[in-house]
């Protein structure tokens, strides 16, 4: 099993739709979790940290399920500008234990 | 504005050449990192540095070298020993272990 797994997509959704991505991780001792957004041929940018209690930032909601070892990202009212690849990142507790997923590609269609 | 500057944006290397990628940050972050991104793969850690004058190998350090003489700077040298260097190289920094990263805009290295 890979340390961090994401469905590569692409997820093609119409504008205004709600879309959710999951990311599973194998290390039950993982300590911190993040979602990054990466536009084509650009650097990843931190979208949000994922807290145990769940957290929301505008149209974006991130949740952590430790029992089932996955994190999720929910995007409501999708915009064309949300089109990007979303990377999940899991920190297993050390500099060398930060693992990036391969990303889920989202395409929002007019 | 604070951030990380990587240069050059594009770099072409002949076989057998060493090349150095620059990374400078003015965020006052202690930790800095070098990652490599290949199509269809997650970012892979090459080297990281927690403080000045200290750095550690990551998962794919072979064929690469780094230095950390100043807090702001963490250059990466891709040596001729790296057999497949064509990739997108990303430098990042963080305040401390466990925090989210800020990335530079990357350097695309191509072997010609």
Instruction: State pLDDT tens for residues A65-103.
Output: 999 999 999 999 999 999 999 999 999 877 678 899 999
Element holding B3 (H helix, E strand): none
How sure is the predictor about B15, in pLDDT bands with cuts at 50, 70 and 90?
Answer: confident
Q: State the pLDDT at residue A80.
A: 98
Residues of A in contact with B100 (CB under 8 A): 34, 46, 49
Residues of B in contact with A34 (CB under 8 A): 100
Q: State the pLDDT at residue A63.
A: 97
DSSP per-residue string spanning B37-71: E-TTS--EEEEEEEETTEEEE-TT-TTEEE--SBT
Cross-chain CB nearest to B101 (options A8, A46, A102):
A46
Q: Which of A28, A22, A24, A29 is nearest to A61 (CA)?
A: A22
Q: State the pLDDT at residue B60.
A: 95
Average pLDDT (A23-42) is 94
**Does pLDDT of B11 surpass 90?**
yes
Q: What is the spatial distance between Cα A110 and Cα A80, in angstroms, rounded to a whole number?
A: 7
Average pLDDT (B50-78) is 96
Please give the structure tokens belonging to residue A87. 């990377």
Cross-chain CB nearest to A43 (options B48, B50, B103):
B103
% of chain B at pLDDT higher than 70: 98
């Amino acid at each position: 099993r890979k340390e961090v797994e994401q469905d590569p997509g692409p997820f093609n959704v119409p504008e205004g739709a709600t879309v959710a991505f999951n990311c599973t991780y194998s290390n039950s001792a993982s300590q911190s979790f993040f979602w990054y957004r990466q536009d084509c041929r650009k650097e990843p940018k931190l979208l949000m940290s994922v807290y145990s209690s769940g957290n929301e930032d505008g149209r974006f909601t991130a949740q952590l399920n430790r029992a089932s070892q996955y994190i999720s990202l929910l995007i409501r009212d999708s915009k064309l500008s949300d089109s990007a690849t979303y990377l999940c990142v899991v920190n297993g507790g050390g500099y060398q234990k930060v693992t990036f997923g391969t990303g889920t590609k989202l395409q929002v269609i007019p | 504005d604070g951030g990380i500057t990587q240069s050059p944006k594009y770099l072409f290397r002949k076989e057998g050449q060493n090349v150095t990628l620059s990374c400078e940050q003015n965020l006052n972050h202690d930790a800095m990192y070098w990652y490599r991104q290949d199509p269809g793969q997650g970012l892979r850690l090459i080297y990281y540095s927690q403080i000045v004058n200290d750095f550690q190998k990551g998962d794919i350090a072979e064929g690469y070298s780094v230095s950390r003489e100043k807090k702001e700077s963490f250059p990466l040298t891709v040596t001729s020993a790296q057999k497949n260097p064509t990739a997108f190289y990303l430098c990042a920094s963080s305040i401390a272990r466990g925090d989210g990263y800020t990335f530079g805009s990357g350097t695309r290295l191509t072997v010609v």
